[in-house]
Structure 1
């Protein structure tokens, strides 16, 4: 009996040892296949272009292919819900942003929680928005637009890539600070904004700098102001909105970062963090981001990014309250 018990115990110990060895081997070999980055923005928009340019650099430091997939709709909600419900194995990440915090604040019943359903890995970039109009618009300056808004209450409208998007909140903030009245026109994605402006369907918009700059440089749109604290080198002679309105709420930077589903393996979080920050330190990446009006930044650690996300969640909830922005 003792010999049988000993043999069973030895076999059990061997099995446990093999399981531990296999677990350690699996962790040590992450990633062993392609990692998907789910982008909640339309193909061709600034964040999508940024991620597709960054993807090969990240792939080189990660040691596996990085596949960028677009899941557009509901201001980023569809992509967030999709990633929140995927396997928490480290192979599917969301390009998260403050737009997801805004969406949840506007719609508390949404079936995802940006704070509790994800593990923040690191922020990768920050970008202001640009106040733009069609190149053929009668508004040559911000003051021209302000005068029109005040002279025609409720007659002008502004475009966005969806309710709760950065363009929506920037437009709502602008109108609120002016104590003006303008109609919000949400589209399915940001790529529809310039089309609506050039057709004359909408009067003005705030678009992410990475989207706006090429369209301004091509002559399609006219830039009137930027929401960064300082002017953008890529848009010389374009003032900051803060310098005109003299209110800190006019300074709005929109950031992007990687989120994994909750319960993702700690080793996957750590390795994706190291690979991402290594890629972000490449001078070529910094130059690439800056050329599009985006600044490459990184978190000190996943915990630091998580703390930043929590603080941003409170900040944007306060902005929504102050502007009276609703999901309707």
Structure 2
């Protein structure tokens, strides 16, 4: 084959290949698997929830969902990775209240949760629970607060670390009641119950997933929950807001799917609809509840965005009121 004929043949082959690529790019979203980046270790509560949800979400989208764990810097690495990904809807972040708190505590972080993402939809929410050991003399939150106020600096509370939900809830409890209580950062949230049972700490605000089994097992006593309504698993335990009537007492960890900021509204709407369809599954709702979470969706991407911005303002006030610094 001479050079002229070879070039003509090559051009003829390249043309349909190029057309195929163009058609693929122009076909309706999604036309290939979608990655969801989970900022937490495999096997943890959020990871389990996402993996349980992935098949239903994939069915609703019409493409498989690939769950990928990207652990590091308490969720920062995952957020930075997705923020810099192509804004085509194929790389999403399991974003959460934690990302807002991280940025508020560390303004120098190289991602901005409010500017670098488009918010597709809410997926779940999980409160913390104010607990004391089951043999504690304190039967109510008011009794605990009164005892701590009468003994400044003598009451300790544990958490999984600075800036965690357990830390912020307890610092708010101290601030609202005018208490001088000592924060004991532990090696992780799994240490909270052991610390209480040893007597190293007198109270704590572990997540519902950690606390409910210990309360039902008789090791801990629940005094209040930080959710907006009472938990079905602990219907006799009042919400903290019932007791204090302050909006800052509603402190729930939540998660949702975020995409890079310039993702088109059409793609965001498609993802939102798939989230809401997937989360209608009674089985998935039951599994979430078993893990200490409640399935909770948003009515629209705009509503979820409004929620995230409002939460950012609330967490900023919680951090300010509790005089919490650095993460």
Secondary structure (helix, strand or coil) at the match of 2:111 reads: coil
Report the Cα distance in structure 2 between the residues aligned to 1:83 and 1:233, rounded to whole angstroms: 35
Query: Mapping of 1:235-246 within 5 angstroms?
Result: 235-246=234-245
Deviations 1:137-175 (A, max 9, x none): 454432342233112212222222332222222111111
Question: How far apart are 1:18 and its partner, in Å?
Answer: 6.0
Deviations 1:121-150 (A, max 9, x none): 101122322112334545443234223311
CA–CA separation in structure 2 for the residues paired with 1:15 and 1:42? 39
Distance (whole Å) between structure 2 residues aligned to residue 150 and residue 282 of structure 1: 46
Q: SS at the partner of 1:231? A: coil
Asked if the contact 1:42/1:70 (under 8 Å) is kept, the reply is: no
Between stretches 118-127 and 212-221, larger displacement belongs to 212-221
- Aligned residue number for residue 5 of structure 2: none
Q: CA–CA distance in 1 between the matches of 2:90 and 2:218?
A: 40
> What is the number of equivalent residue pairs in this alignment?
316
Aligned ranges for residues 1-328 of structure 1 at < 5 Å? 20-25=22-27, 27-30=28-31, 32-33=32-33, 35-40=35-40, 43-45=43-45, 47-62=46-61, 63-67=63-67, 69=69, 71=71, 73-74=73-74, 76-86=75-85, 88-187=87-186, 189-264=188-263, 268-327=267-326
> Is the contact between residue 40 and residue 78 of structure 1 (CA under 8 Å) also seen in structure 2?
no
Q: Report deviation, 1:82.
A: 4.0
Q: In structure 2, list runs of 5 or more residues that go unmatched.
A: 1-11
Q: Could you tell me how far apart the structure 2 residues matched to 1:313 and 1:72 are? A: 22
8 Å Cα contact 1:225-1:240 kept in structure 2: yes
Range 135-144 or range 102-111, more displaced: 135-144
Structure 1 length-normalised TM: 0.81
- Are 1:42 and 1:189, in contact at CA under 8 Å, matched by a contact in 2? no
Deviations along 1:223-278, whole A, 9 cap, x unmatched?
12112233222113212222333433223233211112333465653443222111
Q: CA deviation digits over 1:265-324, x for unaligned, max 9?
A: 656534432221111122333343345553322222223322221222222223322332
Structure 2 SS opposite 1:146: helix
Cα RMSD for the two superposed structures: 3.3
Q: CA deviation at 1:51?
A: 3.1
CA contact (8 A) 1:43 1:70 kept: no
> Taking structure 1 as reference, are residues 257 and 18 closer, same or farther at Cα in structure 2, changes over 3 Å only?
same
How far did 1:111 drift?
1.8
Q: Which runs of 5+ in 1 are unaligned?
A: 1-10
Change (3 A) 1:137 1:72: farther
Distance in 2 (CA, whole Å) between partners of 1:257 and 1:99 is 11
Distance in 1, matches of 2:299 and 2:244, equals: 34
TM-score of the two chains, using structure 2 as the length reference: 0.81
